[in-house]
Amino acid sequence: MLAAACLATALLPAAEAPDRIEWLRHNAVQVRSLASDDDDFSDLQPLLEAIGDSRVVLLGENTHGDGSTFRAKTRLIKFLHQAMGFEVLAWESGLFDVQQMQQGLRVGKPGAEAARVGLYQDWSTRVQTQALFDYLSDTQDSRRPLLSVGFDSRVAQPQARAQDYPEYIFSFFDRLDPRLISAQERERFRRLSEALVPAEYYRHHDDRLVDPDIARVLLARLQVQCEALAPLYSPAQIDYARRSLISLIGMSRGLTEHPRFTRDTVMAENLLWLIREVYPRRKFIVWAHNFHVMTAVPGAAPEAEADFNGPMGRLVKAALGDMVYVVGFASWDGAYAYVGQPPVPIPPSSPGCMETLLHAVGHPYLFLDGRRRPANHWLRRPMCARMQFYTESTQDWTRYFDALFYIDRMQPARSPHP
């Protein structure tokens, strides 16, 4: 139905398509390569003007199995770090997990090994991300290390959910007084931490009752004991423990109160906390899915968006305005592959779709800025585009992204052979 609706409304009059293709040939940035070792950034120089003074650049991906996008983002991240002074890479992975990853990088753990502690397998195990992990590791001893943080409200790794994160919270309180958390409360908190994954598991976690209030109990106890904790921890350490509990509470709300409160709401809160409180003078790169970085609600009229708590990009943009620059990723055809699954073909986009026009330009990689186009520009008219999961819909894509990074043929993400 969606694709049919797209075709019904988005097919261009025959006379318009050549003009638009010619315009794209002259205005889209032709990116030379996706190679992670291509450090000649002359082809990316137009991005300096497009991104400008933005302090936060959000990089999406159509699916979590887009190998070519991972390569493109790796090269973009190196460019943003080296040429534009960005110093923090924020991952769509657990607030707690990525902190463990960064601690490992800081003490010299190999990048790929550190990533397996902090990131979902969608990225940590893929061939096309390994060069980025090496780069993260290499920068740690430099004058400007590229730091990793996580903003997801979920604790990402099973080991961390079941053991590492609960033990971190317990030891945080135990240093003041081991009697502050009872044995029963410890078990309740461990169950909650372990269960905060998909809703089905949350609601039926080993057929035991999961008590979402235990995180609120511990947060309130931290507030009461804040003065007593001050001699033992720095303000930043206390604030991190507080934020981790707030994030956990938010994830619990997201699983029980949808759509009034969602995972995207908590991710936005975490990301804004990192930007404003933890690294207020640093510039951020954000790695996430196209949906999470969108600055409008898919399919919703602008006047109806107040009824939605998401996507994350919309909430962050509302808070920071033009300090935020969002790049969505698109492809004409190819394939994607999730971890442990065979590649899924991506059919060529339909006639009249944005990806079809970009394909006709005849260059494999393009960067198209939409932010600086006037309101009456043809790019801002509703047209067929595939903004998430390669599903066609008719939208004004410039409401969702400031720019598109176009990859003509998507190569699927791959895991190393055993």
Instruction: Looking at the structure, tell me whether residues 401 and 290 fall in a common domain.
Output: yes
Amino acid 7: pLDDT: 37
Q: What is the pLDDT of residue 10?
A: 43
Whether residues 169 and 205 fall in one domain: yes
| pLDDT at residue 16, as a whole number | 63
pLDDT given for residue 6 in this prediction: 40
Taking Cα atoms as reference points, which of 363, 300, 308 lies closest to residue 29?
Answer: 363
384 in a structural domain: yes
All residue ranges of the chain with pLDDT < 70 are: 1-16, 198-209, 254-261, 303-304, 307, 417-418
The CATH number linked to 19 is 3.40.1660.10
Q: For residue 14, tell me if it sits in a domain.
A: yes
Tell me the pLDDT tens digit for each residue of 338-383: 999 999 999 999 998 999 999 999 999 999 999 999 999 999 999 9
Do 239 and 288 belong together in one domain? no
Q: What is the pLDDT of residues 264-305, one digit of tens each?
A: 999 999 999 999 999 999 999 999 999 999 999 887 777 667
192 and 293 in a common domain = no
Residues 389 and 299 in one domain: yes
Domain boundary among 243, 258, 273: 258
pLDDT in tens, 33-52: 999 999 999 999 999 999 99
CA 67 to CA 74: how far, in whole Å?
Answer: 11
Pairing of strands 403-410, 324-336: parallel
Q: Check if the beta carbon of residue 163 is closer than 8 Å to that of residue 189.
A: no
Residue length of the chain: 418
Is residue 115 in some structural domain? Answer: no
Q: Are residues 245 and 295 in the same domain?
A: no
Both 244 and 315 in a single domain? Answer: no
| pLDDT value, residue 2 | 36
Whether 253 and 289 share a structural domain: no
- Residue at 108 is within a domain: no
Contact 178, 128 (CB under 8 A): no
| Same-domain pairing of 356 and 308 | yes
Q: Is residue 304 part of a domain?
A: yes
Residue 329: give the domain boundaries.
Answer: 2-86+283-410
Residue 4's pLDDT is: 35
pLDDT at 257: 57
Do 315 and 233 share a structural domain?
Answer: no
**pLDDT score, position 12:** 52
Structural domain includes residue 320: yes
Query: End of a domain among 223, 258, 293?
Result: 258
Domain boundary among 258, 274, 291: 258
Whether 175 maps to a domain, the answer reads yes
Whole-number pLDDT of residue 385:
95
Residue 96 lies in a domain: no
307 lies in the same domain as 381: yes
